[in-house]
Amino acid sequence: MRTLFLGGTVVSGNGAKRADILVENEKVVAVGRNLPNAADRIVDVEGCLLFPGFIDAHTHFDLDVCNTTTADDFYTGSRAAIHGGTTTVIDFACPNKGESLQYGLDLWHQKADGKTFCDYGFHMTIDDWNESIRAELKTMFARGISSFKMYMTYPAMMVGDRDMYWALKELKSLGGICGVHCENAGVIDGMIAEKKAAGELSPASHPLTRPPYLEAEAVSRLLRIAEAADCPVVIVHLTNAEALKEVEHARKRGQKVYVETCPQYLLLDESVYFTEDYSQAARYVCAPPIRSTEHQDALWKALRRGDIQTISTDHCSFTLQQKDAGRGDFTAIPGGLPGVETRGELIYSYGVAKRRISIQNMCRLLSENPARLYGLFPRKGILKPGSDADIVIYDPGASHVIRTDDCIANVDYNPYEGFVTSGGIREVWLRGRKAVENGRVLDETPQGKYLVRGKCSL
């Protein structure tokens, strides 16, 4: 089956140009003007932007946290993803301490295989360090996992400095890359104990006990550990200007540091926590917390300069009922926000349309860079001959208001309720097959494939 996308503007990390795209079965076979019309069907995309399918390299589907399980599993979460133009997700396989990496990988395949509407891969969480985990790392690469994750907070998952150093050294020797959740666990614990002792138990205490400088301290420490291990790292969900400074210092020392941020840190501000309405505030509880507008501005500037490489979502959704668990104790609120469904339209609307970032920058942040960083390029992240035909058809002339009722993630609120979009997603194609049309997911059965990933090429 040959499909010709006719009359659109193809977006890449280098710019946007008028071109048609010829797709044969699952692959792009030609991009250019006046292609020979040898297609079985023509898709008229006049006036539309054609992006390579967005990649969300930070989701948590079907994850047990805080005595509950995320509201979205792979079925509902990936359906929401593709609805919003995300044709690839990379989720975090998460074995518990004491379990093998292989056990975690098998478990994540059980959760995802046959239930995922977009293509998918896994990062592997390292929350323990010993000889058998070390020995398993090589096998993980053979199974398509080239990126890992470590936590500097959360007792159930965090590793200490020594183990982080050894793990990074090992990853360096294998050519792997590691994302790290950076927050200073000890001082945060101390501050939480103080708030509890003072009886300040509302969600407003959440951001106050996780201030920007404690994220920056962890970023700085991680980067010194990475320096010792001589290993590149990814700072995941970076939120603030002070943490960015630490990255700048490390880069000046010659270190390779990649940075991810998320829409919630770009578009929402900490005032969401400072309301008497528990339910309103609790829905925004995530870690690190949402920051002040001054930090937002610093992030947008860093995006513009190219100092931040990716925007993912950290989609980790809980219903309002699940969020209710923390009434009377803010530390019991399950942390995380939905976001996988709205990222593309939000970043276009509040980034590109508001002239904070260019369209090619958006393409790099949502498609090309995550593909390169996580070993998927050029299969994903670009529309050129040989690439998968994952295409987002974006109509810049459309507009709508983001409403929970129009979203299909399995969650009864949306953090961006009422945000007005500039433009909108008209269609989403996954490997040459139309998956979404005018807000409707067409596939009844999940079509996503597991992606065996190679090494970082960013």
Beta strand pairing status for 424-430 and 54-59? unpaired
Nearer to ligand DUC (CB atom), residue 121 or residue 335: 335
- Site map for ligand DUC, 123-162, x if CB under 6 A? ----------------------------------------
Considering the complex, what minimum distance in angstroms separates the CB of residue 51 from Zn ion? 24
Nearer to ligand DUC (CB atom), residue 82 or residue 150: 150
Considering the complex, what minimum distance in angstroms separates the CB of residue 307 from ligand DUC? 22
Phi, psi of 58 (to 5 degrees): -150, 85
| Residue 286 binds: one of Zn ion, ligand DUC, none (C-beta under 5 to 8 A by kind) | ligand DUC
Binding status of residue 262 toward ligand DUC by CB under 6 A: no
| Residue 287 binds: one of ligand DUC, Zn ion, none (C-beta under 5 to 8 A by kind) | ligand DUC
Look-up of token digits 């320096």:
227
Residue nearest to Zn ion (CB): 314
Considering the complex, what minimum distance in angstroms separates the CB of residue 20 from Zn ion? 39
Residues 162-201 that bind ligand DUC (CB under 6 A): 181
- The C-alpha atoms of residue 28 and residue 385 are separated, in whole angstroms, by 5
User: 38 is written with which tokens?
Assistant: 């040898």
Among 60, 210, 356, 372, which residue interacts with ligand DUC (rule: CB under 6 A)?
A: 60
How much is the CA Rg of the chain, to the nearest whole Å? 21
| Residue 335 binds: one of Zn ion, ligand DUC, none (C-beta under 5 to 8 A by kind) | ligand DUC
Q: Which residues bind Zn ion (CB under 5 A)?
A: 314
Considering the complex, what minimum distance in angstroms separates the CB of residue 455 from ligand DUC? 25
Binding status of residue 286 toward ligand DUC by CB under 6 A: yes
Nearer to ligand DUC (CB atom), residue 132 or residue 321: 321
Nearer to ligand DUC (CB atom), residue 315 or residue 372: 315
Nearer to ligand DUC (CB atom), residue 115 or residue 181: 181
Binding status of residue 203 toward ligand DUC by CB under 6 A: no
| Residue 344 binds: one of Zn ion, ligand DUC, none (C-beta under 5 to 8 A by kind) | none
Considering the complex, what minimum distance in angstroms separates the CB of residue 58 from Zn ion? 6
Nearer to ligand DUC (CB atom), residue 53 or residue 335: 335
Considering the complex, what minimum distance in angstroms separates the CB of residue 279 from ligand DUC? 17
| Residue 283 binds: one of Zn ion, ligand DUC, none (C-beta under 5 to 8 A by kind) | none
Q: Over the chain, what HEC string results?
A: CEEEEECCEEEECCEEEECEEEEECCEEEEEECCCCCCCCEEEECCCCEEEECEEEEEECCCCEECCEECCCCHHHHHHHHHHCCEEEEEEEECCCCCCCHHHHHHHHHHHHCCCCCCEEEEEEECCCCCHHHHHHHHHHHHCCCCEEEEECCCCCCECCHHHHHHHHHHHHHHCCEEEEECCCHHHHHHHHHHHHHCCCCCCCHHHHCCCHHHHHHHHHHHHHHHHHHCCCEEECCCCCHHHHHHHHHHHHCCCCEEEEECHHHHHCCHHHHCCCCHHHHHCCCCCCCCCCHHHHHHHHHHHHHCCCCEECCCECCCCHHHHHHHCCCHHHCCCCECCCCCHHHHHHHHHHCCCCCCHHHHHHHHHHHHHHHCCCCCCCCCCCCCCECCEEEEECCCCCECCHHHCCCCCCCCCCCCCECCCEEEEEEECCEEEEECCEECCCCCCCCECCCCCCCC
Nearer to ligand DUC (CB atom), residue 11 or residue 333: 333
Residues 328-367 that bind ligand DUC (CB under 6 A): 335-336
Residues 296-335 that bind ligand DUC (CB under 6 A): 314, 316, 335
| Residue 407 binds: one of ligand DUC, Zn ion, none (C-beta under 5 to 8 A by kind) | none
Considering the complex, what minimum distance in angstroms separates the CB of residue 71 from Zn ion? 15
Residues that bind ligand DUC (CB under 6 A): 60, 181, 286-287, 314, 316, 335-336
